[in-house]
Structure 1
């Protein structure tokens, strides 16, 4: 527990709920716990800030058809020295400057080959079905969207076993091997068990 004077404990406990602000036996442990939490959060703050920078950079870079990992790879292999904090500020407040940085990285490292949609066939299929509307195309009405069934081909797998089905009888070789290793269950020998 804290070894502060009463005056300092009450100063730190200012604003606590109930007796936590004016009763020393309640305030001292609460202040102690609050100081521990503050210590921990000072360490976590750095991680959380870096995580928020990465999230904003990732969303901004994907607008330029480039994943975050390739962008950081290009940044490390170019002569541009900008940290994530500045990059996140650029992508939020200066999108044109951020685009210039992305273009320069593509130019220096030759990552422009990544600048393409990943799955063009499914994209074109979605456009043909009317699920994806390209710029300039008329938007489908609400009735059209709700009436159109989603056509998905159902394929029955041959090796599919329903959840509560009878277990598959192992081959004779597998049974001999399990008997040899000592992992054999006696009711598997019983033909009546398999007849059920």
Structure 2
């Protein structure tokens, strides 16, 4: 019961007064919080992919082809690192693209 009282501190009306509605509201809030954490992770991954796609297209190569060439050359970089390289280390990202495209 203490758990529910602590978590309904910002709620209003019967959600604070009635223990039956407290339990339901807190469970629903926790479920929604779990879902929103998953959605945030999905959105961040989509941002990494779109940034990497824009950077690869700057060198006239689509993102899917770039990932294919990375795998063919046994270069193991995840989406986060590819996006970081493109934003922070632009020259190394360009040289990575050149190396991948020359080996095929």
Q: Same fold (TM over 0.5)?
A: yes
Question: Which among 16, 19, 30 is matched to residue 22 of structure 1?
Answer: 16
Question: Which among 60, 75, 79 is matched to residue 80 of structure 1?
Answer: 75
Unaligned residue ranges in structure 2 (runs of 5+): none
Which entry has the higher C-alpha Rg, 1 or 2? 1
The answer as to whether partners of 1:9 and 1:31 remain within 8 angstroms in 2 is yes
RMSD: 2.1
For the residue of structure 2 that corresponds to 1:79, the secondary structure is coil
Matched pairs, number: 103
Question: Which among 43, 47, 69 is matched to residue 42 of structure 2?
Answer: 47
Question: Which among 26, 29, 34 is matched to residue 31 of structure 1?
Answer: 26
Shift, 1:61, TM fit: 0.7
Which residue pairs with 1:100 in the alignment?
95
Highest RCO, 1 vs 2 (Cα 8 Å, sep ≥ 6): 2
Unaligned residue ranges in structure 1 (runs of 5+): 110-196
Structure with a larger share of its residues in helix: 2
What is the CA–CA distance in structure 2 between the aligned matches of 1:52 and 1:69, rounded to whole Å? 15
Q: TM-score, normalised by structure 2?
A: 0.81
- CA gap 1:96/1:15 in 2 versus in 1, 3 angstroms: farther
What is the CA–CA distance in structure 2 between the aligned matches of 1:62 and 1:8, rounded to whole Å? 51
